[in-house]
Amino acid sequence: MIFENSEMTIILGVLLTLVISYVAYSLIKQLRTLEKTQARRIFDLMVIGSILYWLDILIPQEGSGGIKIQAAAGMLIFLYGYGLLVLEKYREGRRGVGS
């Protein structure tokens, strides 16, 4: 084998960190173009959703029975914030075309 298990884990960790950093950068870049109050609300939703999702992964519940309610709730909150971002960018584009 080319890589040992520990080396593969480190490489995957670095790749995951790079992907998460890129996604966060691109989302924050898109949020900067929105109104301040709207951008703040969307950013807060996305951060809260991410925290809930990662807390469930990092701190596993004893005897959870396989259903990850906290992770699912975090993902839904994050996706709701992302949906609002997409909707606001769509509206921004429609206003630009209409004028």
pLDDT, tens only, 13-39: 889 889 988 988 888 888 888 888 888
pLDDT at 10 over 90: no
Report the predicted TM-score, pTM, of the whole model to 2 decimal places.
0.72
| DSSP string of 24-38, one letter each residue | HHHHHHHHTTS-HHH
pLDDT at 1 over 80: no
Average predicted confidence (pLDDT) for the chain: 84
CA nearest to 50, candidates 73, 66, 74: 74
Max Cα separation, the chain?
A: 60
Percentages helix, strand, coil for the chain, rounded to the nearest 5? 80, 0, 20
Would you place residue 3 in the very low, low, confident or very high pLDDT band (cuts 50, 70, 90)?
low
Would you say 52 and 77 are in contact if contact means Cβ atoms under 8 Å apart?
A: yes
